[in-house]
């Protein structure tokens, strides 16, 4: 039985007395347009209100077009969902950051950016990558549409506590390895079902040194290791990120909050339901070669041979991956021609990601055969990047500079990878068809995506000098 862990502590604080721990209170409910219309419809039919509109915030991200905001949406379901979101938010008094507003962005980007995401909170959203918010020491996880309705109506959720799992990251990665590369290494090590039923707490010196953006990238991908969520104990890095954010506490409240937050950590003698150590010593820039995020190797490596894999499940998955990806065992990753490069998503669409990619791109040109796009994670990030001149760095190199949204992460509004061609993408999922029918996705860091765009083949940023 787990005890004295960060998860246990936050969970206990949210358990509603007399319910045997099965009912928890929700501090922040985030909404997007895809998984909320039916939930509001349910409320309407039952004649109910939103219990705590002050703890409920909505944004438009999945369906928004990123090319031009003025053109009619090509997708009529998307158009309907966006219209319903506006109507529902008005009718139920929910704060909405719609398309073309300063607050708009991918839900997992705007929560932290606005200071809505704070240590010790219990946060839910009808979206699996809600795990991202765990980077602040919050318990944050995705829920289904019927649960969205339950939270809207009651501000509570009936749910069993996940098991707790410690992933201790050890060793010193190579300078080129980013949080994304560490995330891919973790998933490769523990498997895409390695975290099933658990909430992962990441620990170790690498985590202590990691920026908030990096921690969000890592927690974002905990879900791709099968976990319910990811979590990192708050520290000075967390506080420095939050200080002065719109909704973060201020003045004396800030001092008091910081003191309280410092206690959100697993005790030295904490017992987890499961513990694993992942060694990232010397880790290089990583790239996926297959159709799940665990099928990853160093970018200067070769496509593995499934026939040499001891585990029959991995062998079969490897065969299937090579078939879908059109790759041969032993082929150099660097020989795969890349037609599309996508920098964006809730995994790697933040300021630090855009700065890192721009530093690689600056003064260089995108290879002739590559279509490359940068989609900032939020409108504020877009404007900040423009203030820093990053948009010009990208556009002068031949990248398209888009409006914020989920975009090519999930192939909406025509932001697709052409069938049968390869993309380098900073998103988090490389499942068959994820970036369009027959699209062949390679997951990478922003730096690797940038270098790949310049060379027209998979390449780490170390290759650009
Ligand atoms: C649409 C939404 C429910 C989905 C999720 O839950 O993750 C999406 O954001 C994704 O990344 O596949
Ligand atoms: S950016 Fe991608 S992973 Fe993130 S919420 Fe949007 S569709 Fe899901």
73 has a pLDDT exceeding 80: no
**What would the pLDDT profile of 132-174 be if each residue is shown by its tens digit?**
999 999 999 999 999 999 999 999 999 999 999 999 999 999 9
**What would the pLDDT profile of 91-137 be if each residue is shown by its tens digit?**
999 999 999 999 999 999 999 999 999 999 999 999 999 999 999 99
Q: How far is the CA of 291 from the centre of ligand 1 (A)?
A: 17
Is the CB–ligand 2 distance for residue 430 below 6 Å?
Answer: no
Whole-prediction pTM: 0.98
Instruction: Give the pLDDT of residue 314.
Output: 94
Ligand 1 cavity residues, CB under 6 Å? 34-35, 62, 127-129, 142, 410
Instruction: Give the pLDDT of residue 431.
Output: 98
Instruction: Give the pLDDT of residue 1.
Output: 80
71 has a pLDDT exceeding 80: no
Instruction: Give the pLDDT of residue 74.
Output: 66
Residues belonging to the binding site for [4Fe-4S] cluster are 346, 406, 409
Q: How far is the CA of 37 from the centre of ligand 1 (A)?
A: 15
3-state SS record for the chain: CCECCHHHHHHHHHECCCCCCCEEECCEEEEECCCCHHHHHHHHHHCCCCCCHHHEEEECCCCCCCCCCCCCCCCHHHHHHHHHHHHHHHHHCCEEECCCCCCCECHHHHHHHHCCCCCCCEEEECCHHHHHHHHHCCEEEECCHHHHHHHHHHCEEECCCCEEEEEEEECCCCCCCCHHHHHHHHHHHHCCCCCCCEEEEEECHHHHHCCHHHHHHHHHHHHHHCCCEEECCCCHHHHHHHCCCCCCCCHHHHHHHHHHHCCCCCCCCCECCEEEEEECCCCCCEEECCCCCCCEEECCCECCCHHHCCCHHHHHHHHHHHHHHCCCCCCEHHHCECCEEEECHHHHCCHHHHHHHHHHHCCCCCCCCCEEEECCCEHHHHHHHHHCCHHHHHHHHCCEECCCCCHHHCCCCCCCCCCCCEEEECCCCCCCCCCCCCCEEEECCHHHHHHHHHHCECCCHHHCC
Model confidence at 465, pLDDT cuts 50, 70, 90, reads: confident
Model confidence at 72, pLDDT cuts 50, 70, 90, reads: low
Could you tell me which residues come within 8 angstroms of residue 181 by beta carbon, excluding any fewer than 6 positions away? 173, 283, 284, 285, 286, 445
Proximal ligand: closest to the CA of 348:
2
Span(s) in the chain for CATH 3.40.1060.10: 163-279
Best CA proximity match to 349, nearest among 430, 270, 425, 252: 425
Mean pLDDT of 22-31: 97
Atom of ligand 1 nearest to the CA of 129: 7
Residue among 348, 409, 426, 434 to mutate when testing ligand 2 (max atoms within 8 A of CB)? 409
Best CA proximity match to 211, nearest among 114, 357, 36, 351: 351
Instruction: Give the pLDDT of residue 167.
Output: 98
Mean pLDDT of 339-362: 98
Higher pLDDT, 179 or 68: 179
Q: What ipTM was estimated for this complex?
A: 0.98
57 has a pLDDT exceeding 90: yes
Proximal ligand: closest to the CA of 110:
2
Mean pLDDT of 43-65: 97
Q: How far is the CA of 158 from the centre of ligand 2 (A)?
A: 25
Q: How far is the CA of 78 from the centre of ligand 2 (A)?
A: 15
Residues belonging to the binding site are 346, 406, 409
373 has a pLDDT exceeding 80: yes
CATH hierarchy code of domain 286-460: 3.30.499.10
Q: What is the distance between the alpha carbons of residues 296 and 277, in angstroms, rounded to a whole number?
A: 18
Residue among 75, 85, 129, 441 to mutate when testing ligand 1 (max atoms within 8 A of CB)? 129
Phi and psi of 308, rounded to 5°? -90, 0
Could you tell me which residues come within 8 angstroms of residue 342 by beta carbon, excluding any fewer than 6 positions away? 372, 373, 375, 407, 408, 409, 417, 423, 424, 425, 426, 427, 435, 449
Span(s) in the chain for CATH 3.30.499.10: 6-158, 286-460
Instruction: Give the pLDDT of residue 68.
Output: 83
Cβ–Cβ under 8 Å, residues 227 and 190: no
**What would the pLDDT profile of 239-298 be if each residue is shown by its tens digit?**
999 999 999 999 999 999 999 999 999 999 999 999 999 999 999 999 999 999 999 999
Is the CB–ligand 2 distance for residue 106 below 6 Å?
Answer: yes
* Pairing of β 163-170 and β 156-158: unpaired
Atom of ligand 1 nearest to the CA of 223: 7
394 has a pLDDT exceeding 70: yes
The CATH number of 6-158 is which of 3.40.640.10, 3.90.226.10, 3.30.499.10, 3.40.50.300?
3.30.499.10
Class of domain 163-279 as given by CATH? alpha beta
Q: How far is the CA of 125 from the centre of ligand 2 (A)?
A: 12
Proximal ligand: closest to the CA of 34:
1
22 has a pLDDT exceeding 90: no
Return the residue whose CA atom lies nearest to atom 6 of ligand 2.
406
Is the CB–ligand 2 distance for residue 346 below 6 Å?
Answer: yes
Is the CB–ligand 2 distance for residue 127 below 6 Å?
Answer: yes
Cβ–Cβ under 8 Å, residues 293 and 192: yes
């Amino acid at each position: 039985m787990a005890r004295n862990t960060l998860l246990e502590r936050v969970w206990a604080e949210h358990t509603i007395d007399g319910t045997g721990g099965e009912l928890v209170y929700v501090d922040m409910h985030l909404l997007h347009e895809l998984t909320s219309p039916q939930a509001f419809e349910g409320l309407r039919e039952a004649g109910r209100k939103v219990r705590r509109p002050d703890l409920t915030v909505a944004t438009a991200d999945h369906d928004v077009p990123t090319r031009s905001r003025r053109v009619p949406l090509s997708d009529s379901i998307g158009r309907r969902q966006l219209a319903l979101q506006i109507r529902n938010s008005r009718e139920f008094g929910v704060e909405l950051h719609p398309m073309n507003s300063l607050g708009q962005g991918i839900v997992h980007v705007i929560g932290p950016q606005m200071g809505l995401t704070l240590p010790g909170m219990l946060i839910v959203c009808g979206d699996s990558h809600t795990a991202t918010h765990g980077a602040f020491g919050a318990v944050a996880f995705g829920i289904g549409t019927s649960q969205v309705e339950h939270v809207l109506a009651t501000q509570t959720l009936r749910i069993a506590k996940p098991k707790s799992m410690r992933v201790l990251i050890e060793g010193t990665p190579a300078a080129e390895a980013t949080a994304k590369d560490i995330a891919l290494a973790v998933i490769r090590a523990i498997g895409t079902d390695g975290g099933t039923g658990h909430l992962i707490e990441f620990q170790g010196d690498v985590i202590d040194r990691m920026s908030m953006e990096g921690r969000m990238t890592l927690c974002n991908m905990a879900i791709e290791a099968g976990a319910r969520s990811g979590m990192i104990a708050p520290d000075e890095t967390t506080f420095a990120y939050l200080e002065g954010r719109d909704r973060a506490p201020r003045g004396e409240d800030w001092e008091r909050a910081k003191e309280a937050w410092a206690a959100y950590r697993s005790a030295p003698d904490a017992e987890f339901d499961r513990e694993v150590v992942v060694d990232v010593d010397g880790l290089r820039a990583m790239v996926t070669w297959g159709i799940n995020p665990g099928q990853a190797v160093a970018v200067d490596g070769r496509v593995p041979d499934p026939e040499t894999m001891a585990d029959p499940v991995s062998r079969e998955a490897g065969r299937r991956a090579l078939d879908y990806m059109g790759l041969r065992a032993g082929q150099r990753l660097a020989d795969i021609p890349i037609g599309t490069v996508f920098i964006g998503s809730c995994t790697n669409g933040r300021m630090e990601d855009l700065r890192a990619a721009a530093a690689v791109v600056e003064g260089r040109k995108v290879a002739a055969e590559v279509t490359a796009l940068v989609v900032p994670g939020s409108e504020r990030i877009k404007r900040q990047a423009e203030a820093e001149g990053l948009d010009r760095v990208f556009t002068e190199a031949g990248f398209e500079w888009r409006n914020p949204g989920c975009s090519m992460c999930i192939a909406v509004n025509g932001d697709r990878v052409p069938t049968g061609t390869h993309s380098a993408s900073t998103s988090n999922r490389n499942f068959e068809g994820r970036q369009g029918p027959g699209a062949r996705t390679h997951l990478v860091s922003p730096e690797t995506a940038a270098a790949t765009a310049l060379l027209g083949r998979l390449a780490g940023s170390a290759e650009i000098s």
